[in-house]
Chain A
């Protein structure tokens, strides 16, 4: 048994790389299965065309930006449930303000929500699960009161449409935004003190504090980045759909958490690579897309979605038998 595992190619990978390799292989499995289905059913293979893959990346970029922010918060063993209405608030603010101040105003909303979340978690020491849940309800109330519960009549600005939907050399600009944020995340997590501090806090907050890490400041900054990412994603989504609408962020928070975890980041914090989050996002987006090509009813989609998360985690996400 030990010999088997020693010679299998997966065992040569480090603990953080194994989930990424397995998730990447699973993406190939999804693509192959989907292609077999379309070949048999329609006699063509649209899944392997660049146009299809680029479109999936464009859809994935909205989720990917949220997941990047969510990963920072999960790495410090917190969670941000205020993402749905931070996203919607960003989108609604951007379309309501309009003009050249649309983008700064939306990011300002994200900054404010992030500071509030960070304050509650870092200074009041309220569990992030419940504090961000409350902030989400407050943001929802504010937005519903502001818009009267109807879809806002204001439209996305030209700039928002430009960065979300228009293309250069056939590649949508949203993918460039995701790429830029991804490069920033890798540099942030690997090369900066802030990145080291994030992992340190996630592993043992008391030890990080005693080592001189400004744990409160890092926590607040992580929450600010998560909320700003959510509001930016809201701006992009509004640009893509040309308008903001009620509940536009509700479908994003759980997939974002799932993407981060499927990518090998420990839900308890302190472990995980950013590349894994990108792979996790692509996996979820492709899975959704292939299931809808197969005309799978919502019921079957939910079940497959749950089974995929559980089976991926059973392969590499298992924890200790007894938590110490």
Chain B
């Protein structure tokens, strides 16, 4: 019994090699970072790190879903920017108006994703070129909402979301304003990190286990076979793009809350989209589809971000940062390519 269990574990490890490497790599770079941080480990640094990671992590999760399906979504950065600009208009008030604003933002993200899905499924246009075009449209809408950067966000929500759990509890007024004794053990935890974990476990994990989620994986492995097996391909594709829109929308809401403004910056949106692809690949998801997952992409984002944190600590000229980021990306994908050395038949290289 134990023998089968250990071989089971070995199999799972081999199947999730990319994910395992990403987790280990993250642990190493983050340990190095904390070790060399002049102030040592503190809740403050932890909170700051977590805030810087959140939006890109959301975008990486968004990118993961279409990639698993064998596609690519070049509009995630634009959807995030669109929701960011919308949020800078609707999150000014207080109480229920904020709640309504957040719902509106999420619906906008979902609608943008659904439109992508419709263009791909019913228009039968390749995802990469379809989302290139819709991304331009979303960027245009974002520019209509915010021709110049500006806007305002409710200060309480900004404070609550971008600090530790203690500040969150105090602002919202739960757990004796965050002073309950049992609460102290986790009070220093960053709110944004908690939300990241909540989004991942409430949206992504149930989706992955649902029939639709399985369909997305199946489409990425072999679309023809998935269709022949009676899976609803169209629903899978629509769901994949809609979910990507929702994740990108959450990233946009947080970006607006974090910066207290909306900014329709075309180069920034493009850079976020490209970083999201890099995060997905470093996180162990195959660009060919079918293997990987959104949790791995979160770790991919963490690795990319912690490397840039390290630049501040080691006082490397910021000018060299893109060079190192590129080298890390190339190194990571080249390591992944080592498996071709084991290929015995040349034909296995062609997919």
Contacts and interface: CB of A to CB of B under 8 A. Distances in A.
B320 interface: yes
Interface stretch (A14-22, A99-107, A309-317): A309-317
Given A144-B322, A309-B133, A267 B278 contact: no
Contact of A310 (B133, B142, B287, B322): B133
Interface of B is mostly: helix
A307 to B, nearest CB: 7
Interface in B220-275: 223-224, 227, 233, 266-267, 270, 274
A267 B120 CA distance: 14
B123 A140 contact: no
A138 B287 contact: no
A210 B321 CA distance: 43
A212 to B, nearest CB: 13
Contact of A309 (B132, B223, B347): B132
B23 interface: no
B274 A133 contact: yes
Interface of B: 70, 72, 119, 123-126, 128-130, 132-137, 139-144, 147, 223-224, 227, 233, 266-267, 270, 274, 277-278, 281, 287-288, 317, 319-327, 329-330, 333-334, 336-337, 340, 346-347, 349-350
B141 A299 contact: yes
B126 A267 contact: yes
A103 B147 CA distance: 40
B123 A306 contact: no
Nearest to A253: B270
B110 to A, nearest CB: 19
Q: Which 7 A-B pairs have the closest CB atoms?
A: A141-B323, A137-B326, A302-B140, A299-B143, A306-B136, A303-B140, A138-B326
Contact of A130 (B140, B223, B287): B287
A129 interface: yes
A11 to B, nearest CB: 20
A210 B345 CA distance: 12
28 contacts: A125-B337, A129-B72, A130-B329, A131-B330, A134-B330, A134-B333, A138-B323, A144-B319, A145-B323, A209-B350, A254-B132, A257-B129, A258-B132, A298-B143, A301-B140, A302-B143, A302-B266, A304-B140, A306-B133, A310-B123, A310-B133, A310-B134, A313-B123, A313-B133, A314-B123, A319-B126, A323-B70, A323-B224
